[in-house]
Chains A and B, each alone.
Chain A
Amino acid sequence: MTEAMPLLAVERLTMRFGGLVAVGELSFTADSAAITAIIGPNGAGKTTVFNCLTGFYKPTAGRMTLNTAAGPRYLERIDGFRIARLGVARTFQNIRLFPRMSVLENLIVAQHNGLMRASLFSVAGLFGLPRYRRAERAAVALAEHWLERVGLAEQGDIDAGALPYGAQRRLEVARAMCTRPIVLCLDEPAAGLNPRESAELSELLLGIRDGERIGVLLIEHDMSVVMGISDHVVVLDYGRKIADGTATAVRNDPNVVRAYLGEDEISSLAEVAG
């Protein structure tokens, strides 16, 4: 982290629900062209961090700075849909596609803001002006590009709700990418995937990191995915950061092992190792 300005800097982020501190004094950074994983046991506050970042929750305290091309933006002050317009895209733990719209339509809706401008807020679109036709053609082309990237090129015209589970997860990633984000937040993208699908997902995420060179934030329980592709891992437990570093450093951190396995297990593990 020698760079002066990380893509995303979270400083002393705190989120309280009544007396419960879901996230406490959390600070971390995420860079462009890097995968930052946020891991931790169930209930550690990972999804709450995402909900703060994407504006679904207003944090109790703290600062979240997104360094966009147009200068820094402080996410804690901005409405959720405007944060998305700044280039923060996300997926959801429980998939949230538009099930009764086709796969392609899901990806076109993701490009709403650009198309809305091109259609002059529907006026140009109503009269079918060439300006809107061009924008629509570009939108379909981008959607098609991402359908190919996630392996759904032949499923474009079926209802999103009719796709198998793993394909729905990939489609959600494609939909987020169609917003042309600078930060992609993935909430457990490998949940419910089989090992082969998990490996494909890892490939896809590495491709996004190296091809689009955007920042990827990843919440994940599947350690084969996390340890395989993360450049940087942040570990939470009870809403607080207990470790932060490369995958190897975090894996050997005694605090992390304790959080995941409990005190007793460590002594027995030590015996095994010894």
Chain B
Amino acid sequence: MAARLDRARAPDLPGAAKEAFLAAIVAFVLALPIIGLGTYDRGGGRLAVEPRWDWVAIGVAAVFGGRLLMALTRPARRAAGGRRSWVDRAGRALRPIQPYIALAGLLFAFVLPFMPFSNRYVMDIGTQLLIYVMLGWGLNIVVGLAGLLDLGYVAFYAVGAYSYALAAQYLELSFWVALPIAGALAAVFGVLLGFPVLRLRGDYLAIVTLGFGEMIRIVLVNWYPVTNGPDGLSGIPRPSFFGLPFAASAPEGGNSFHTFFGLPYVPEHRVIFLYFLILVLALITNLFTLRIRRLPVGRAWEALREDEIACRSLGINPTTTKLSAFAIGAAFAGFAGSFFATRQGFISPESFTFIESATILAIVVLGGMGSQMGVVIAAVVLVVLPELIREFAEFRMLVFGGAMVLIMIWRPHGLIAFREPTVHLAAWRRARAKP
């Protein structure tokens, strides 16, 4: 028995080599057409094929080496106690101070616009990041808490954006009036999608929601009289600061933001205002989620994710529970969508493609399903990093794929897989012990 354990711990070179060789064959077959054949313009719009065998060799060698290393270190990692890698231990050490990290991040987010290095570019990335954080937190309700794999989340984002754009264009509603309407409309669409997919689970649910996302986009492209088709809607009004517009010249008989506060006109005011607006919207999403997790409906979502049959046996109505998750998740996407519309001033179906859904889902899954902090970290990785390494844009997908592989190996349950219980018996006992 001991001998067998020892053998299991010792690196098995022939086995590892065989494994690496098989992986290298798969890589070769895939790389041959994808990497091996490059095309270039021969002039006059004619394409020519140029083989790049050296690249194929590098790729295959990298796969062979990586797989060999993984296979050889696997026994050592097992011996070190299952999944308890250094990443795990670091995570464990950080867990008690997680609230302080969150608070520090929040403070940083609030002072960012006033930092010396802050400029319009930083504000734009910050706003972009916060949109994704908010969408991630919204989708976290559906995927992370209720366990409903939704691949068409961007549809609700689109509903929110078009709701505001159309409401502004036809009904001349202001952003602040349209915001709740956009959220409510998105929630209605969430319920509409929810009804037909109630019986579906896992992969099947993912396929249907994927189709729903595409349906919304295709309707937006083709319903020319209303949505202006692929040309999109432009001239979407900007939000005002409690009725004060951000304009260089004040409107007739009124004030604009800078005249009211006696400031010189700076176009950045609006950018900073938009940044704070999405920051507040995202924080509302977060506070709502943290709160609802501790309420009966939030616990029912998590219970539904764990075992639907057991939920039925406890008298939980799975229909209303699932629909509420779809509706609330969709509502937050609707809010984010109308913010997106007012920030851009122009929207078209281009902005609501499947890749957006995939990015948001990747943020939730990589972050660790159900973890609010994980969503922020994953959003930083997936949204900000590509911006920072713009010079290496060609390698973006390579880095992205590599990161996915590393996470699959080291953090198969996402960056933050730890789940904080919503109620602590120990805390209740302590509270009761106090007079």
Chain A positions within 8 Å of B, measured between CB atoms, are 54-56, 80-82, 84-85, 89-90, 92, 96-102, 104-105, 108-110, 112-113, 115-116, 119, 121-122, 125-126, 137, 140, 143-144, 147, 156-157, 175-176, 179
Contacts and interface: CB of A to CB of B under 8 A. Distances in A.
A90 B313 contact: yes
Contacts of B292: 122, 126
Counting chain B CB atoms within 10 Å of each CB, which of A55, A109, A125 scores highest? A109
A85 B320 CA distance: 15
A110 to B, nearest CB: 5
B296 A157 contact: no
A105 B315 contact: no
List 6 A-B pairs, minimum CB-CB distance, nearest first.
Answer: A156-B425, A84-B315, A98-B306, A102-B421, A125-B295, A115-B296
A100 B297 CA distance: 17
B336 interface: no
B306 A101 contact: yes
Interface of B: 288, 291-292, 294-297, 299-300, 302-303, 306-307, 309-318, 419, 421-426, 428
A97 B306 CA distance: 8
A115 B292 CA distance: 13
A99 B306 contact: yes
Nearest to A106: B303
B296 A119 contact: yes
A101 B424 contact: no
Given A122-B296, A125-B295, A157 B424 contact: yes
Interface secondary structure of B, over-half rule: helix
B315 A85 contact: yes
Contacts of B291: 125-126
Nearest to A99: B306
Given A98-B306, A105-B423, 12 more contacts: A56-B312, A81-B312, A81-B315, A98-B303, A99-B306, A101-B299, A102-B421, A119-B296, A119-B297, A144-B425, A157-B426, A179-B314
Contacts of A54: 313
Contact of A81 (B299, B317, B423, B428): B317
Contact of A140 (B288, B300, B316, B423): B423
Nearest to B309: A96
Contacts of A56: 309, 312
B296 A101 contact: no
Contact of A84 (B295, B297, B314, B425): B314
A112 B313 contact: no
A47 B422 CA distance: 34
Nearest to A102: B421
Contacts of A176: 313
B328 to A, nearest CB: 10
B302 A101 contact: yes
B295 A109 contact: no
A122 B314 CA distance: 19
10 contacts: A81-B318, A92-B310, A102-B423, A108-B423, A109-B300, A112-B300, A116-B297, A119-B297, A126-B292, A140-B425
Given A80-B313, A81-B316, A113-B315, A104 B425 contact: yes
A175 B314 contact: yes
A81 B300 CA distance: 13
Contacts of A144: 425, 428
A92 to B, nearest CB: 7
Given A96-B309, A122-B297, A110 B423 contact: no
B50 to A, nearest CB: 52
A84 B426 contact: no
Contacts of B421: 101-102, 104-105, 157
A116 B300 CA distance: 10
Contacts of A92: 309-310, 313
Contacts of A82: 315
Given A96-B309, A122-B295, A126-B295, A112 B425 contact: no
Nearest to A121: B297
A100 B419 contact: yes
A47 B291 CA distance: 39
Contact of B296 (A97, A98, A116): A116
Contacts of A147: 425
A226 B167 CA distance: 68
A194 B218 CA distance: 61
Counting chain B CB atoms within 10 Å of each CB, which of A55, A125, A175 scores highest? A125
